[in-house]
Amino acid sequence: MAETVKLTINGKQIEAEKGTLLIEVARQNGIEIPAFCYYQNLSLQAACRMCLVEVEKTPKLQVGCTLPVAEGMVVHTDSEVVRQSRKGMVELLLTNHPLDCPVCDKGGECELQDMTFRYGLGESRFVERKQHVDEEQWSPVVYFDRPRCIMCYRCVRVCNEGLDVTALGVGNRGVVSQILPNFHDHLECDECGACIDICPVGALTSGAYRYKTRPWEMHHVGTICTHCADGCRTTLGVRNEKIIRGNNRDSSGINGEFLCVKGRYAFDFTEHPERLQSPLMRAGGRLEPVSWSQALEAVAKKFIEVKQGSGHFGVIGSCHTTNEENFYLQKFARQVLGTKNVDHHRSGDLATLFDALTDRGKVLATVEDLANAKAVLVVASDLAQQHPMLANQIRASRRLRGARVYTVTPGPVREDKNAVASVRVQKGGELAGIESLRDKLKAESDLTIVFGDAIQGESLRKLIAFGDSLGLAVKYICLVDYSNSRGAFDMGLIPRDGGLSREQMLARDLDVLWVVGANPLKEVRGESKAGFLVVQDLFLTETAQRADIVLPAASAYEKTGTVTNVCGEVQKLKAAINVMGPKADLEIMGLIAREMGPAAVRTLGMWLPDKVFEEIRKTVHGYDVPMPVVATGGAAPTMPLNGRVAALPGSISSAGDTLFTSGTLGRYSKVLNSVMESPGALYEEKGRHS
Amino acid sequence: MPTTLYNEPSPLETKVLSKRFGLENSHRLDTYLAHDGFKAFLKARQMTPEQIVEEVKTSALRGRGGAGFPTGLKWSFVPRTSPKPKYIVINADESEPGTCKDRLLMEYDPHQLIEGILIAGLAMDAHKGYLYIRGEYRYLIDHTDRAIGEAYSKGYLGKNIAGTGFDFDLYTHSGAGAYECGEETALLDSLEGKRGIPRMKPPFPAVAGAWASPTLLNNVETFSAVPNIIRDGGAAFAALGTPKNGGTRLVCISGHVNKPGVYELPLGYPMLKAIYEVAGGIPGGKKLKAVVPGGSSCPLLKAEECDIPMDYDTLAKAGSMLGSGGMVVLDETTDMVKFALRIMRFYAHESCGWCIPCREGTTWLRKILQRFDDGGGRKEDIPVLGEVSKNMLGRTFCALGDAAAMPTISIVEKFREDFEKRLAGASRASELVTV
Amino acid sequence: MLAAYPEGRKRSAVVPMLIYAQDETGAVTPELIAEVAKRCEVEPLQVDEVVGYYSMLHRKPLGKYHVQVCTNISCLLVGGEELYEHAKKKLGIGNKQVTADGQFSLEEVECMGACSWAPAVEINYDFHHYVTPERLDQLIDALRKAN
Ligand SMILES: Cc1cc2nc3c(=O)[nH]c(=O)nc-3n(C[C@H](O)[C@H](O)[C@H](O)COP(=O)(O)O)c2cc1C
Ligand code: SF4
Ligand code: SF4
Ligand code: SF4
Ligand code: SF4
Ligand code: FES
Ligand code: FES
């Protein structure tokens, strides 16, 4: 326990850790010291002067956000002079503020509005002309309205310190000073919107949300981002069955306030005009809309026919669908259709990992473990591009807790900038690169190794052996794509016991190929080899275009269920909006089973997410997670298989999405497309962080 | 070269720092060496660093940049034994309105300054110095570079200075137009290639200054005084002034006087004597209205408050400051509204914009004052001027906000009738015509 | 210039490099910003920030002769404002404007350290003290003739 001091705030005796900032101590004790520029975990500015308080025996008011508490300090946060000072500050701030709250996006959740209400003067004595500058669009996502800006520098700090992007600075000086984007009149950056999110006023606003609604007209739904595998929690603002905004201001979830451009804005694929609204069936060579009952009946008929005939089925699942759906699908395949040909697009070698880690105990790192790691080794991945949240976590660990970072990658990565050591390797040379760091790594007290798809099979076993040989506590994160790859594996969407792999299925003349939420034919030319292709998807993908029957599916934002992130943590999806035409994949599967007859339904059980999850908890290894954690929106770590896992056929490779792509979904996101068309598209090539 | 002075010296001066001014080629190293040059450095080389600092303390020298902080005490804060490199930074940003003395010290006697810096280097165990010179003084940067070159070529800078085994490198660094960069921590940010935004204190520059290393930062005149202190002893320097206010300083007298100029006067010199005798009194026999005692940041003194000796403590007691030595004399015809407006235009233009009260306050005050000057002043504006200033005072991030507030408060309080005469509708008073 | 600063502190040269380069190029252009950023090993944004801050740095070219008239307090008291008004008339331009022939530009500036020899004018980097309107006319006419 650190040294404590006794102090008095507003007559209340308080004990606090020595050196803690007064503003924090006050907050911990329920005493509000107003602040604009102070922001937890960002550097101190002492710029807004809202937090001035009276400290006895000092002549001037003291800055609460930078003052460390000391023994015997007597503080007044609500004395006459303090209140007068705050009034003065608010009045000064408003002298150049447009007061256009009725048309401001931030109206209703603006910290300045709040502050004016709580601490302000009531009326202004300012009768002069205000500074005016027109609003500017800096990127497809970011708009800046200078007159509303109160120069708290939160945006600058979150971008520079939080994201390590340094896209924002401060230009000019004095009353005309302003926030400056990195290309003078526009931004080329991560487009993550963190700056917008953190802006206390309506100075930075988002292209996605602008003028669409007022905050109080939305309701909010906390769910999990469907894009990469990191599993960020996002709070979707919904109005009239439309998702209008994503953020995570309440810091719930493993990502804190962090969201990347995809989590914050790329929910817009849900309302893309090409979204499938009705089932399609091939008739005369063309896909024509049919009713749900016609489509389901046709599918069921085909399934029964092939089951009674050749039994040649192939089932390819998704990296986006829920655990419940994946579980139900593999059970459907194995127990109703009677096939072992089950797979999904595997992007990380989990089979080898689990096998190699047999009897190691808890050595798969959770996001929290990563946050507390003293040292992190990044192997063969550009995390800032592919796993933005993990990258953010590592940056925070380094910045706030001094974590030491090492990189072994083919090209320059953002982590290099603050890395202890960076090694550039050719593909295949990763292990040699890691080996060259042996002495440095050995000196660490613990280590978390985060590795990409280049490490698989034999090299993955060697990596584990390397970890074992360091003589310290080593944990691993095996990177995978998309929101539920990990769940797809855990639920058994894998060709075990001699089933065909994805590639094998595509190469064979199967009688039925059933593809749920995946686009395996994207890179395959010509007709599908399968006799009958059933596809469940949101869009008419390259695979769906060749299908015999297409069933429109709901997206992750339109259904409930659970997903498992890259670190094996189970989190709950909550439907933000209801869709009319499409149905959740689980429901679609259930309805197919029902069409097939009562026996199928008896085998599979009801297609209710909660029911299926109960079964998962009972039957899937490591998934007996505590229900309250999941139910309340928490992340429950799972325990992976502990015991030999047989090698699986088929290849493993990441789709290699970047910060601005997200497989098929990304192609239907207007925001992501506009970001890529903007000058920011050059972002990556320029290698600005090299 | 600069043998002609910008103004005639006065016989009433006590010439210590300026004693070589006016000598033929006063800026040349030869001239300097022929007139006591580098004796102090050689003497200091024989002293321990503690003794040097002690001597400076004894001299009762106080910073000439504006704040008047005891120099010896400041020198003692620098952790001389720190393993980090230590730096000497010389504040030659000279931008406080009314102040024009550092310019002369660099122009007429640059080697005196260099010697002062070297002595500080000895005392701090520092081996690099940076002279931060305002960008407008380009001719002086060039001039000082030549003097530095001369010192290098004769072995008074660089390796093994004057055979003493002491190494020191000195560089000039150009500013680019920003008053705020005279504030010591903003200056350091500017020196590091950033916008001149002041830093949070602590840590103080003495501990973490330039490039996060211990840094001694003083004004040009402060360093220029040092060779004299070491050569003749701190006590002798102290004796020139009054207790706790050692030595002489260069007083820049400007405004309504017959003989404006920079004059070296001992601390504690009577203000009225400076105005009426040294600077030759007020033109046309007009009456004194007010004095800005030490640059535009100081509260103004009314004529009847000016019968005081000019030292730091007396001025503080009178509710003002000795500041940077820029003494501006205002005669009875001066329009205080216009004067206050010009001051506030300056601060609004120079506010770095970092903190709310200064950024917004200076502009607000400027606008009110401009309105007054344009004939749109209202009675209720007069208290607002004072109140807004007081909302800034003591609450800004750095002292620029105070510097803007203090003169304004004093003008509004002391010359309220000037504002009343300028209210909208009131006929413009005929006697307020000068400016 | 870079050599003056400690190891790894090239950023320190940003301000001097900009102002010396501006003297050559006439203005701070985006290309100049990029070049300074490269040499000082910082992001262009970090140079851009600086350009807007310092009043002597400007993005548009000034006249060949930049006439800077101080109107701050010491100058104000002895005719600085009248001198500035006179300069406006003489050159036919306003604050921070450039004459059509590109020869002259004018700026009302803050105290430039010549208070005791006021009113003061600086033309490019040359100081002129005790300047009267007549003296200013002579200075400007002489420069005009020199061309
Ligand atoms: C706004 C502001 C401007 C300043 N300008 C100058 C200046 O131009 N020259 C100077 O020497 N000190 C200036 N100072 C004072 C410096 O911050 C610092 O106190 C001084 O340089 C220290 O040196 P000294 O102790 O030798 O006076 C300024 C202070 C403030 C707050
Ligand atoms: S969107 Fe993100 S990366 Fe871009 S400027 Fe804002 S915080 Fe920085
Ligand atoms: S844009 Fe917003 S976050 Fe950035 S400084 Fe202005 S008010 Fe603060
Ligand atoms: S980091 Fe991944 S999970 Fe988080 S918001 Fe971005 S895409 Fe979504
Ligand atoms: S008081 Fe604030 S705005 Fe003014 S110069 Fe200092 S830091 Fe900048
Ligand atoms: S919160 Fe302390 S100054 Fe802004
Ligand atoms: S006031 Fe004009 S030079 Fe100082």
Beta strands in B127-271 (DSSP E): 128-133, 169-174, 215-219, 248-255, 261-266, 269-270
Considering the domain boundaries, does residue B6 fall inside one?
no
Considering the domain boundaries, does residue B47 fall inside one?
yes
> Residue A24 and residue A20: Cα distance in Å, rounded?
7
Backbone phi, psi, residue A9, to 5° = -120, 120
The number of the ligand 1 atom at minimal distance from the alpha carbon of B186 is 17
pLDDT score recorded for residue B320: 97
The burial class, CB within 10 Å (0-12 / 13-18 / 19+), for B417 is: exposed
Rounded to the nearest angstrom, the gap between the alpha carbon of residue C77 and the centroid of all alpha carbons in its chain is 23
Mean pLDDT of chain C: 97
Considering the domain boundaries, does residue B67 fall inside one?
yes
> Residue A657 and residue C134: Cα distance in Å, rounded?
72
**In chain C, what are the domains?**
2-53 (1.10.10.1590), 65-146 (3.40.30.10)
pLDDT in tens, B188-244: 999 999 999 999 999 999 999 999 999 999 999 999 999 999 999 999 999 999 999
Residue of A nearest to B178 (CA): A173
pLDDT score recorded for residue A525: 85
Whole-number Å distance, alpha carbon B91 to ligand 1 midpoint, is 7
Q: Give the pair of three-digit tokens for residue A21.
A: 């900032």
Q: Do residue B61 and residue B185 come from a single domain?
A: yes
User: CB contact, 8 Å: B324 with chain C?
Assistant: no
In sequence order, what are the residues at sequence separation of 6 or more whose Cβ sits closer than 8 angstroms to the Cβ of residue A39?
A154, A157, A158, A198
Which listed CATH number (3.40.50.300, 3.50.50.60, 3.40.50.740, 3.90.1210.10) goes with A280-345+485-654?
A: 3.40.50.740
Residue of B nearest to C50 (CA): B195
Question: Do residues A401 and A380 lie in contact, with contact meaning Cβ atoms separated by under 8 Å?
Answer: no
Q: DSSP letters of B169-190?
A: EEEEEE--S-GGGGSHHHHHHH
Mean pLDDT of chain A: 94
> Residue A427 and residue C58: Cα distance in Å, rounded?
49
Q: DSSP letters of B46-60?
A: TS-HHHHHHHHHHTT
Q: DSSP letters of A257-319?
A: T---HHHHHTTGGGG-TT---S-EEEETTEEEE--HHHHHHHHHHHHHHHHHTT--EEEE--S
Specify the DSSP element, H or E, that contains A62: strand A62-63
Exposure string over B39-61, b if 16+ CB within 10 A, otherwise e: ebbebbbebebeebbbbbbbbbb
Phi-psi region of A367 (alpha: psi -120 to 50; beta: other; left: phi over 0): alpha
Which residue in B401, B411, B209 sits closest to A60, CA to CA? B401
Beta strands in B70-183 (DSSP E): 87-92, 128-133, 169-174
pLDDT in tens, A297-332: 999 999 999 999 999 999 999 999 999 999 999 999
Mean pLDDT of chain B: 95
pLDDT band per the 50, 70, 90 thresholds, residue A639:
confident
Considering the domain boundaries, does residue B141 fall inside one?
yes
Side chain identity, residue A300? A
Question: Do residues B372 and B215 lie in contact, with contact meaning Cβ atoms separated by under 8 Å?
Answer: no
Specify the DSSP element, H or E, that contains B420: helix B416-421
Mean pLDDT of C65-79: 98
Collapsed DSSP state (helix, strand, coil) of residue A449: strand
Considering the domain boundaries, does residue B254 fall inside one?
no
Question: Do residues B180 and B196 lie in contact, with contact meaning Cβ atoms separated by under 8 Å?
Answer: yes
Q: Do residue B348 and residue B233 come from a single domain?
A: no
Instruction: Check pLDDT > 80 for residue B430.
Output: no
pLDDT score recorded for residue A681: 46
Mean pLDDT of C86-94: 98
Question: Do residues A221 and A234 lie in contact, with contact meaning Cβ atoms separated by under 8 Å?
Answer: no
Instruction: Check pLDDT > 70 for residue B1.
Output: no
Instruction: Check pLDDT > 50 for residue A688.
Output: no
Question: Degrees (nearest 5) of the Cα angle C14, C19, C20?
Answer: 100
pLDDT band per the 50, 70, 90 thresholds, residue A1:
low
Side chain identity, residue C145? K
Mean pLDDT of C30-39: 97
User: CB contact, 8 Å: B260 with chain C?
Assistant: yes
Q: Give the pair of three-digit tokens for residue B247.
A: 């030595």
Q: How many CB atoms within 10 Å of residue B374?
A: 11
pLDDT score recorded for residue A687: 39
pLDDT band per the 50, 70, 90 thresholds, residue C116:
very high
> Residue A392 and residue A388: Cα distance in Å, rounded?
6
Domain boundary (B240, B266, B285) is at B240
* Chain A interface mutation, best of C45, C51, C57, highest count of A Cβ atoms under 10 Å: C45
pLDDT score recorded for residue B435: 35
pLDDT band per the 50, 70, 90 thresholds, residue B2:
very low
Whole-number Å distance, alpha carbon B187 to ligand 6 midpoint, is 23
Residue of B nearest to C40 (CA): B193
Identify the CATH class of A350-479.
Answer: alpha beta
Cβ within 8 Å, pair A177-B364: no
Q: Do residue B70 and residue B175 come from a single domain?
A: yes
Domain with residue B213: its CATH number is 3.40.50.11540
> Residue A318 and residue A344: Cα distance in Å, rounded?
6
Sheet holding A342-343, edge to edge: A286-289, A280-283, A549-552, A532-537, A512-516, A313-316, A342-343
Domain boundary (B224, B240, B256) is at B240
> Residue B407 and residue B397: Cα distance in Å, rounded?
18
Cβ within 8 Å, pair B330-C77: yes
B309 DSSP 8-state letter: E
> Residue A563 and residue A571: Cα distance in Å, rounded?
6
The number of the ligand 1 atom at minimal distance from the alpha carbon of B62 is 25
Residue of C nearest to B328 (CA): C74
The number of the ligand 2 atom at minimal distance from the alpha carbon of A158 is 7
pLDDT in tens, B292-320: 999 999 999 999 999 999 999 999 999 99
Distance from CA of B136 to the nearest CA of C (A): 7
> Residue B308 and residue B304: Cα distance in Å, rounded?
10
In sequence order, what are the residues at sequence separation of 6 or more whose Cβ sits closer than 8 angstroms to the Cβ of residue C143?
C65, C103, C104, C123
Whole-number Å distance, alpha carbon C113 to ligand 7 midpoint, is 6
The burial class, CB within 10 Å (0-12 / 13-18 / 19+), for A584 is: buried
Q: Is the ipTM of this complex over 0.95?
A: yes
Exposure string over B3-23, b if 16+ CB within 10 A, otherwise e: eebbbebbeebbebbbbbbeb
Topology of domain A4-93, CATH: Ubiquitin-like (UB roll) (3.10.20)
> Residue A100 and residue A113: Cα distance in Å, rounded?
11
Question: Degrees (nearest 5) of the Cα angle A141, A391, A66?
Answer: 80
Boundaries of domain holding B67: 29-240
Rounded to the nearest angstrom, the gap between the alpha carbon of residue A526 and the centroid of all alpha carbons in its chain is 36
Mean pLDDT of B408-422: 96
> Residue C118 and residue B255: Cα distance in Å, rounded?
8
> Residue A387 and residue A395: Cα distance in Å, rounded?
12
SS3 per residue for A173-237 = CHHHCEEEECCCCCCCCCCCCHHHHHCCCCCEEECCCCCCCCHHHCEEEEEECCCCCCCCEEEEE
Considering the domain boundaries, does residue B124 fall inside one?
yes
Considering the domain boundaries, does residue B227 fall inside one?
yes
Which residue in A676, A262, A684 sits closest to A481, CA to CA? A262
pLDDT score recorded for residue A210: 76
User: Which of B178, B363, B391 lies closest to A175 in CB terms?
Assistant: B363
Beta strands in B337-409 (DSSP E): none
pLDDT score recorded for residue B426: 56
Specify the DSSP element, H or E, that contains C127: strand C126-128
> Residue A190 and residue A105: Cα distance in Å, rounded?
22
Mean pLDDT of A490-505: 96
- Which chain C residues are closer than 8 Å to A181 by Cβ? 45
pLDDT in tens, A50-99: 999 999 999 999 999 999 999 999 999 999 999 999 999 999 999 999 98
The gap between the terminal CA atoms of chain A, to the nearest Å, is: 41
pLDDT in tens, A141-186: 999 999 999 999 999 999 999 999 999 999 999 999 999 999 999 9
CATH classification code of A103-207: 3.30.70.20
Cβ within 8 Å, pair C45-A169: yes
What total number of domains does chain B contain? 2
Is it true that A4-93 and A350-479 share their CATH fold?
no
Specify the DSSP element, H or E, that contains B357: helix B356-373
Question: Degrees (nearest 5) of the Cα angle A493, A496, A498?
Answer: 130
Give percent of chain B above pLDDT 70: 97
pLDDT band per the 50, 70, 90 thresholds, residue B3:
low
Partners of B169 in the beta sheet? B128
- Which chain B residues are closer than 8 Å to A173 by Cβ? 178, 180, 195, 351-353
Question: Do residues A583 and A505 lie in contact, with contact meaning Cβ atoms separated by under 8 Å?
Answer: no
User: CB contact, 8 Å: C45 with chain A?
Assistant: yes
| Omega before C133 within 30 of 0, i.e. cis | no
- Provide the H-helix boundaries in A96-203: 111-119, 154-157, 194-198
Question: Degrees (nearest 5) of the Cα angle A576, A582, A588?
Answer: 105
Sequence spans of domains, chain A = 4-93, 103-207, 280-345+485-654, 350-479
Instruction: Check pLDDT > 50 for residue A685.
Output: no
